[in-house]
Chain A
Amino acid sequence: MGRIVYAAAMSHVLYPDYYGENVGPHGRKMVEELIEVVRDMGRTLAATAPDALVVVADDHLNVFSFDAVPALCVRVGRSVSRMVQDDAIEFDRALDGLPERYPVHEGLANAILEQGLQAGFDFAASWSAPLDHAFLSPVSTLYGDRPVPPLVPFWVNCFVAPQPTAQRCFAAGRHIARVVADGPWKVAVIATGGLSHFPELSLARVGQSDPVFDRRAVTLMEAGDHAALAALTAKELHDTGSHELLNWLVLLGAVSPARARVRFFGEMGRIDLAALEWDVA
């Protein structure tokens, strides 16, 4: 019988230069502190020796064109490439030194997809979608020079309205937990993104975050109050700039009823940064 051996969530722009340029020295310092925490979390993760690493993240209009935007998408196939884009913005340009391909855990990816369709989740499947910073910034920071285990990339449409609901994302996470429990694998799960930034996806509000909302969300995770988090509305997420919390909702579903431990929380101004682990052992 399989089990989830490690679970965490963290912000996914782990590049000091970006915050140094866009926020200033305190932004750079804060993300450098977060990176050190994530590296330490990576040592814990690697020690669990997972057979597969599920990474729940979002697309920044890098991968899925407006031909079709999947609400929830499982990456299947045998390997996945790093996104390559000429003249990419800074935090995707920073992927340039990373490996060009990563293995996909085909068995777990197919199980999540196929059993999902059987259970009523109309997941999209992709055989070709590459990974941007939302996936590879945390994975590369967690693993450093260690070999990365086979991945199961899982996309949530966080930005192109209408998004899947928080409740649906939580339910998708419950589904992942059932698939893992019924399978033979030791699985790690991480969710990335956030905390609040880019409220209303409005250019005029770039630079604002919502620390009150973020403190409340993290406190609910510490308390294990997943019902309150799954009840968050699209309007609440949009108004506060908490779109990427949908990724975290999938993780919460996967680990429920476990409670979170806060490894890092920082209020930067442009964004609030966080890294949390869940006691799943």
Chain B
Amino acid sequence: MSRYDTNVILYRLKKDPAFRDRFRSDPSTALAGTDLTEEERQAFMRWDVPRLNELGGMLHLLLSIPGLGH
């Protein structure tokens, strides 16, 4: 179960501008080494906010990441 990892990544996207820039330019590399299921990884790669929310991503994080809409 990687709800923890999903939310840690969302928290970093919100709080860490350098990580956010890396994710926006090359999400695959930014997510390398994270403990996500393939479904979660694909949702991040597509930046599919409804799906990330369904997979346990915290609503308040998903609504507040600068520059990444929902």
Contacts and interface: CB of A to CB of B under 8 A. Distances in A.
Interface of A: 60-61, 65-66, 85-89, 92, 159-160, 198, 201-204, 206
A159 B58 CA distance: 8
Contacts of A89: 63-64, 66
Interface in B4-55: 4, 7-8, 11, 14-15, 17, 49-50, 53
A61 to B, nearest CB: 5
A66 B8 contact: yes
Q: Chain B at the A interface: mostly helix, strand, loop or mixed?
A: helix
Contacts of B62: 203
Given A86-B66, A87-B66, A65 B59 contact: no
Contacts of A206: 59, 63
A89 B67 CA distance: 10
Given A60-B64, A160-B58, 8 more contacts: A65-B15, A85-B15, A87-B66, A89-B66, A159-B58, A201-B59, A203-B70, A206-B59
A198 B59 CA distance: 8
B3 to A, nearest CB: 9
B17 A61 contact: no
Contacts of A203: 49-50, 53, 59, 62-63, 70
- Range for the number of chain B residues in contact with chain A: 20 to 34
Contacts, number: 49
The A interface is mostly helix, strand or loop, or mixed, namely loop
A88 B59 CA distance: 16
A160 B63 CA distance: 15
A66 B11 contact: yes
Contact of A204 (B7, B50, B60, B61): B50
Contacts of A65: 8, 11, 15
A89 B64 CA distance: 6
A198 B62 CA distance: 13
A66 B50 contact: no
Contacts of B14: 61
A177 B19 CA distance: 44
21 contacts: A61-B14, A61-B60, A65-B8, A66-B4, A66-B7, A85-B15, A88-B64, A92-B64, A159-B60, A198-B59, A201-B53, A201-B58, A201-B60, A203-B49, A203-B50, A203-B59, A203-B63, A203-B70, A204-B53, A206-B59, A206-B63
Contacts of B70: 203
